[in-house]
Chain A
Amino acid sequence: EVQLVESGGGLVQPGRSLKLSCAASGFTFSNYYMAWVRQAPTKGLEWVASITNSGGSTYYRDSVKGRFTISRDNAKSTLYLQMDSLRSEDTATYYCTRDMGARGVMDAWGQGASVTVSS
């Protein structure tokens, strides 16, 4: 069974940093592109970043470019999202997702990690 389990969420002050982790199991992690998608409270879904299966290429939405870094450790089957210079508008539930076929279709989702940016 495919499982994605996020951790590392919490309450953080504006301008500070937080790092999310996503432990993957039930599939060959190194074969798949992965992505983070977020959802602000009572809002819709917003793609944040993607990474290729090797980790050699990464893609970001403009509003997080230069502040967030997506990375992966294929030996540990773990995806990361380093979030720096956090803003109130980054407050959301962050979902770790598996990209089916390396083309942007998210066929597996974690339970989500809640991030609240507030003073």
Chain B
Amino acid sequence: QKEVEQNSGPLSVPEGAIASLNCTYSDRGSQSFFWYRQYSGKSPELIMFIYSNGDKEDGRFTAQLNKASQYVSLLIRDSQPSDSATYLCAVTSMDSNYQLIWGAGTKLIIKP
């Protein structure tokens, strides 16, 4: 069974600090990796995707992928109270018939 694991949190980070969110996955054949943000009562919104080993930066967000160790992380620099949300990691591959396999999410709280 293909699985995606995330620490449920809550992860509490002071405003202005770097928030680090981690995700591990079981399927070695995974090809695409996604981070979504979900505010309470709202639908998930895409932050970024990554599919090559290494780092990918978009504004204050950096996704890091290490396929050998089967983990993907999301760093949020200069954390703001508006970043407080649940962050969902999702993974897909041809073996999963392109179905996204979702982690349960990590709740992030940014303290002013």
A and B interact physically: no
Chain B residues proximal to chain A, CB less than 8 Å:
none
